[in-house]
Structure 1
Amino acid sequence: MNFYRGDLHIHTVLSPCADLEMTPANIVERAKKSGIEIIGITDHNSTKNALLVKKLAEKVGIYVLTGAEVTTKEEVHCLAFFEFEGQLSQFQQFLDEQITIIPNPDGHFGYQPVVDENDNILELIPNYLPAALKSGIHEVQQKVECLDGLFIPAHVDRPANGLFSQLGFIPRGLKFDAMGISQFSSEKDVRKHHVLGNEITLIRNSDAHNLQQIGEICTSFWMGGMNFSEIKMALNQQKNRFVEVK
C-alpha cells in the first residue's frame, strides 16, 4: 500500500465565500507546495471550475476529485464527487434544476466567477450558489449513487449546516462513503459524542476558502494508487485500503 495526503474540501473563486485568489491555477500551485497529492474541488452547488482544476493538476501529478458541496433542502452540506466528465455534467444539470433561485445582483453576496486557466472571467453566475436545493438529503444521495459518485456529509460536527446540527441523527437508509469533520473536533470526540462506530469512516479536510488554508488540515490515504476506485475503497475500508485522521 502507498501513502497519500488528501484535502477533499476546497473552494475555488466560484464560491462567493472564497477569496478571489482561489483560482484553479493558484489552488494547484499551493497544493503542490503543501505536499497534497489528492484534492477535492467543492464549490457551493456548482461544478463549473472543477474540470479546469483537474486539467491543471494532472500536469503536476495531483489527483483531483471533481464535484461540489451541495446544500440540501434541510440545509445539510454534503460533498459529492464524480469520476467522469459526463457524470459531472449530469449532476450539474440536477443542481441547476433543483437550486432555489436567490438573485445575487452585482455580487451582493460575493462574486461567483467561472474562470479559464489564465484567470480570465468566462461567466458570472447570477444567482446565489449556496442556496438550498429543493431536494432533500435522501434525494441528493440517491442521485449521487445513481451516477456512481462519492457521497460525504460535510463537517458533521459543526453547529450549522452539519448532518447532526440540522437533523440530529443519521436518517434511516442514508448511504454515504464517509463523514467529514472539521478542524475544531477530534475524531475521538466526534465518535463518542455522536456514537459512531469504527465502521463509519471519518475524514478531516481544510474546507479551504483561501490559499493559506489548503493542506493545513488533511487526511492520510493508504491505498494502491491515486484513482477514483482506490479512493472509494479506502473510504469504505475495503481490500485493506483505509484512511487516517491525525
Structure 2
Amino acid sequence: MNHYYTDLHIHIGRTKSGRAVKITGAKSLTFSNIIAHARDKKGLNMIGIIDCHSPEVILEMEEHMETGELIELSGGGLSYGGLTIIPGSELEIYDENCRGPIHVLCFFADMTALKQFSDWLKNHLKNIHLSSQRIYVSGKELQHKVKELGGLFIPAHVFTPFKSLYGKGVQESLTEVFDPELIDAIELGLSSDTYMADGIKELHSYTFLSNSDAHSLGKIAREYQTIAMNEPTFQELKKALSNQEDRAIVANYGLDPLLGKYHQTACEKCQHHFDPNVGKCENCGHHKYVKGVADRIAELSSEIKNRCKRPPYIHQIPLEFIPGLGPKMREKLLDHFGTEMAILHEVSYEHLQQVVPAVMAERIVAAREGSLQLAAGGAGKYGKVI
C-alpha cells in the first residue's frame, strides 16, 4: 500500500480568460497554476479542485484533455503530469431546515459525471460560473443527486462560525439537514482538530479530513492528509474514506487549532478575547462577539469514555507562519530541498542550516516538534507564533 499527500479543498480564483470563479480567491489561482504549485512546490500527490462545475473551467479542462496533458484514470480522477485531480464543487445550502448557510463539497469520478452535475446545477443556481453559490434545493436533495452520479458528499469546515454545519447551520445535529448515511467524510477546518471534534458523538462513524480551503497558491497544503491507497484514484479515495480493504487516512496534518482564525471567542471589532459572561470587550468595550470553534464544540460535546481509534493528527506550522522566514528565504529553501512537505517533515537541522541562518533552522525544527509558543486567533484573525 502506498501513501499519498492529499489536499481536497483548493479553489479556482480565475479561469484562463480571467473570469472570476472564486471572487475572494487570488487571480493566480488558475487551473494550470494550481497543478504546478501543488505538485512542484508543495509536493502533493492528489488534490481536490472544488470549482470545476463552472462552465469555463470545464472547457479549460477539456482543452487539456485534447492535448493529452490531462487524462482520465481508469479508477476515476484525472491525471496531469503525475498529479491526480479529483474534480468537485463547493455549494451553499440554506434550506428551510437550516438556521444558517452550510457549505458542502461534492466530488466526482470523471468528466461525464461532472458535466451532468454542472448541467443540473444551472437550474438551481443564480450564477453557475461562480464558486460557493447558494443552491435552491434541500440538503437531502443535493445529497441524492450527488449519489445518483456516483459522487462523494462532504460537509465543509464544519465548525467555522459562518457558513458551516455546526457554526450556525444546525442547532444540535447534522440530521436536522442531512441524511447521515449519505455523508462520506467530515472536513474539520483550521480552528479544530481530531481530538476536539471527537467530543461530538454523532461524528464518530465518519472519517475526518484536514484540507487547506486555499484561496491563494501559498495556502495550498496548509492542511492535508496522507492516505494509504494502492494508487491515487477516485475509487481508491472512496475506499479510504470508508476504511475499506486497508485503505485509510494514515495521518492528518493541520494547523495547531490555536492558529485558526476562529479558535477562541473574540470581539467582533478588535479580535481581542471576549468573555460573554462579562458582556462587553475588556479591550475596546464593544458588545458583539464571534463565538469561537472551541466554545461551540464544547457546547455540542458529551463525555466520551471510549474515544474512536483515529489516525494521528499532527499539528504543523506552515513555513509562512514562522517569524522571520520571508518569501525570499522560503524560495531559497524550496530551490534546495524541492517541496514544502520535505522541508516541514524530513530535512534535517544540519542540512537546513546550510541554507538558512541557524536561528531559522531552529524555528523550522521547533515548528516540526510543536515546541513554538502560540497566541490564539479569533473573530477572523489568525493566531500567531510568538
TM-score, length of structure 2 as denominator length = 0.54
Per the alignment, do residues 81 and 213 of structure 1 end up closer, same or farther by CA in structure 2, a change over 3 Å counting? same
Structure showing greater Rg: 2
Tell me which residue corresponds to 2:29.
22
Per the alignment, do residues 64 and 178 of structure 1 end up closer, same or farther by CA in structure 2, a change over 3 Å counting? same
**Inter-partner Cα distance in structure 2 for 1:236 and 1:42:** 21
Amino acid in structure 1 at the alignment position of 2:132: P
Unaligned 5+ segments in structure 1 are 102-111, 113-124
Select the residue among 191, 200, 208 that pairs with 1:184: 191
1:144 matched to 2:112: no
1:10 matched to 2:18: no
Tell me which residue corresponds to 2:170.
167
**Inter-partner Cα distance in structure 1 for 2:102 and 2:154:** 11
Is this contact kept in 2: 1:190–1:196, CA < 8 A? no
Is this contact kept in 1: 2:89–2:131, CA < 8 A? no
Select the residue among 236, 255, 274 that pairs with 1:230: 236
1:92 matched to 2:118: yes
The alpha carbon displacement at 1:59 in A equals 3.6
Is this contact kept in 2: 1:44–1:130, CA < 8 A? no
**Inter-partner Cα distance in structure 1 for 2:56 and 2:211:** 21
The alpha carbon displacement at 1:71 in A equals 1.1
Unaligned 5+ segments in structure 2 are 14-20, 71-77, 96-100, 253-312, 314-386
Select the residue among 75, 89, 104 that pairs with 1:68: 89
Tell me which residue corresponds to 1:122.
none
**Inter-partner Cα distance in structure 1 for 2:164 and 2:56:** 24
**Inter-partner Cα distance in structure 2 for 1:229 and 1:157:** 28
Per the alignment, do residues 48 and 68 of structure 1 end up closer, same or farther by CA in structure 2, a change over 3 Å counting? farther
**CA RMSD, Structure 1 to Structure 2 (Å):** 2.2
**Inter-partner Cα distance in structure 2 for 1:185 and 1:207:** 14
Aligned partner of residue 17 in structure 1, secondary structure? coil
Per the alignment, do residues 197 and 77 of structure 1 end up closer, same or farther by CA in structure 2, a change over 3 Å counting? closer
The alpha carbon displacement at 1:91 in A equals 0.5
Q: How many residues align?
A: 221
Higher relative contact order (Cα pairs below 8 Å, separated by 6+ residues): 1
**Inter-partner Cα distance in structure 1 for 2:103 and 2:147:** 17
Amino acid in structure 2 at the alignment position of 1:181: L
Aligned partner of residue 200 in structure 1, secondary structure? coil
TM-score, length of structure 1 as denominator length = 0.82
Is this contact kept in 1: 2:88–2:108, CA < 8 A? yes
Aligned partner of residue 115 in structure 2, secondary structure? helix
Superimposed CA distance per residue, residues 3-58 of structure 1 (whole angstroms, 9 cap, x where no aligned partner): 00100000012211111010111111110120111100112963642662885573
Is this contact kept in 2: 1:15–1:44, CA < 8 A? no
Tell me which residue corresponds to 2:215.
209
The alpha carbon displacement at 1:144 in A equals 0.2
Q: How does 1:24-39 map to 2 (within 5 A)?
A: 24-32=31-39, 33-39=41-47
Tell me which residue corresponds to 1:218.
224
**Inter-partner Cα distance in structure 2 for 1:178 and 1:154:** 9
1:241 matched to 2:244: no
The alpha carbon displacement at 1:80 in A equals 0.5
**Inter-partner Cα distance in structure 1 for 2:55 and 2:143:** 16
Per the alignment, do residues 44 and 161 of structure 1 end up closer, same or farther by CA in structure 2, a change over 3 Å counting? farther
The share of aligned pairs that are identical, in percent, is 29
Q: How does 1:103-118 map to 2 (within 5 A)?
A: none
Is this contact kept in 2: 1:77–1:163, CA < 8 A? yes
